[in-house]
Amino acid sequence: MALFDCACQARSGHARALSYETAHGSFHTPMFMPVGTSASVKGVTTGQLRELDAQVVLANTYHLSLRPGADVVAEAGGVHRFMNYDGPMLTDSGGFQVFSLADTLKLDDEGLTFRSIYDGTKVRWTPESNMAIQEQLGADIAMQLDQCTPYPAERSFVAKAVDLSANWARRCLAAHQRPDQTLFGIVQGGMELDLRLESVRRLREVEDESLAAGGRRFGGFGIGGYSVGEEHDVMFETLGQVARALPEDRPRYLMGVGNPTTLVRAVREGVDMFDCVLPTRTARMGTAFSSTGRMNMRNAKFTRDFGPLDAACTCPTCQNHSRAYIRHLVKQNEMLGGILLSVHNLHYLIDLMRRAREAVLADAYEEFYQAWMASPAAKDY
């Protein structure tokens, strides 16, 4: 396969099994991406990520551009060399962080101005400068700069964000030049189906204009603006139609979603890629995913439970440590407790998507889905 080629190896209903080629190897969907916000997946080494069969690792443009700075990462040889990870990587644009963290944000048609959460320095981003930063970071996949809307939000506000994001998509695609890096466009539109479909239409229009002018196309598409406070069922009222409105020949990436059951449901609707801090954040709080449902490892019932964390799991944590030991670590606020649970939770989601892919390849995804939904593991996380 050539660089950024995407091949659909199987379908099962709307679920898909894709292979996608990058400069740092190929990845296969459905898949879950661990989040390494500051070029580090919290509590997990790059060696452990390889052992977990993580296919793509996500890093954050907002945080890396502020600390240590994109120039420092570039001087190190790019984000892969900086963190010593040789697999495919993706950087989000940082737009979500700007809109959610920056109380002093000033937004206009040309770009946005905000203050660093680290030292209060005023920072100005345009679509063009954001592309330059992501090219310096050097991940295999960059994301366009967009405006992510909160929930709930007035329809007029969401409509303006769709228009702004489409205009910025055009500028990002025109500015993005790095040949060993591809750019994904992002769908916005809140919970409004017509605005979501308008966002898809605008992205297709942007791409057609670029190709007509001899420019590049999007390497895939993010679906942003979900999982921002709405109930999961609210998201699923529109997600499937939005995903299937996107081009069939490239990946569809549901951004910021890591609930196990949501992943299983979204794959059924035609989504291919996912990322979220949920598995590591909940691990640091003492929560474990399991085949029998969520487990709070602070619970006293685990005090003398010397069995594995999850008897159905093959991760290093479950193969080597008991529930009693992990509860002890968590109760003592030992760093190792969060590390062991992070390794387990990441393995859980990565393996869940591996099994989802196997079901698609066997044209048995509906059976996989029904079995999951009937299992205790399907409890809402």
Contacts of 334 (CB under 8 A, 6+ apart): 328
Distance of CA 138 to the CA centre of its chain: 17
Q: Counting Cβ atoms within 10 Å, is residue 20 exposed (0-12), middle (13-18) or buried (19+)?
A: buried
**Burial 175-206, CB ≥16 within 10 A → b, else e:** bbeeeebbbbbbbbbbbbeebbbbbbebbbeb
Which amino acids are annotated catalytic?
Answer: 92, 275
CA 268, 359, 381: angle at the middle one, nearest 5? 55
